[in-house]
Amino acid sequence: MNKLFWLWLSILVLLFLFILIIFTKLTILVNYYHHNDNDDLKVVFKIWFGLIKYKLNVPLIKIDDNSPSLVVESHSHMGDTAPEDPDSTVNQITQNDVTSSFQKTKELLEKVIHLHVIVRKFLKRVTIKSFEWQTLMGVGDAAHTGMMTGAIWAIKGSIVSILSHYFRLKQMPHLSVTPHFQAAVIQTQLTCMFQFRIGYAILAGLKLIKFWKGGKPPSNFKSEKTKSV
């Protein structure tokens, strides 16, 4: 009897944890800052109102002086307080790496072209709670600066249009482009916070695995394509 009791108790606990994880919302905060040759990228993942938090920092993105490659340094840690000696990772991205990545991406797109419905339905479950993108730029010439300002506004407008088409926007994005007519400068800061339930990500992942192993579109692919998402 005691063994049966503990068995049922274990099953109930596992079931409770599974349901809890499915309905848990994952919040991701992205903060990117660029000023001339300096880049800084911070990504924070948190659940349960910040009770569990994981931070990823990429403070160094630069061109290697000795070879045509990019040097990317990053470190990550759990919680709010950064350790004195965080785990650091330094990666060197060469031209061959970029070429190989493009080739793999092309092969991936050719294979998963029919996964658009699955991905799109998941993205519609993702809520962008805030989106702020500020840019200060100048090229040293007033006329050219004005032209570049208009081009940047057009690019930002296109990106926001894509975001509103695929994601749920909680509020209107805050965009700004400030021209600097006296000097050549480029400074931009992008802050974004989006959120989704882990259960939706698990479901989308299972659909992707099923399709990937099957090697063909789901049987209800055509019918899903006609439905609103």
pTM here is 0.66
Q: How far apart are CA 121 and CA 96, in angstroms?
A: 34
Question: Alpha helix locations (H) across the chain?
Answer: 2-23, 95-111, 116-123, 142-166, 198-214, 221-226
Q: For residues 129 and 170, is the Cβ–Cβ distance under 8 A?
A: yes
User: pLDDT per residue over 166-187, tens digit each?
Assistant: 898 888 899 999 988 888 888 8
- Spell out, as residue ranges, where the chain has pLDDT lower than 70: 1, 59-115, 214-229
pLDDT at 219: 44
pLDDT at 29: 93
Q: How many CB atoms lie within 10 A of CB 173?
A: 17
Q: How far apart are CA 220 and CA 184, in angstroms?
A: 54
pLDDT at 99: 62
pLDDT at 134: 93
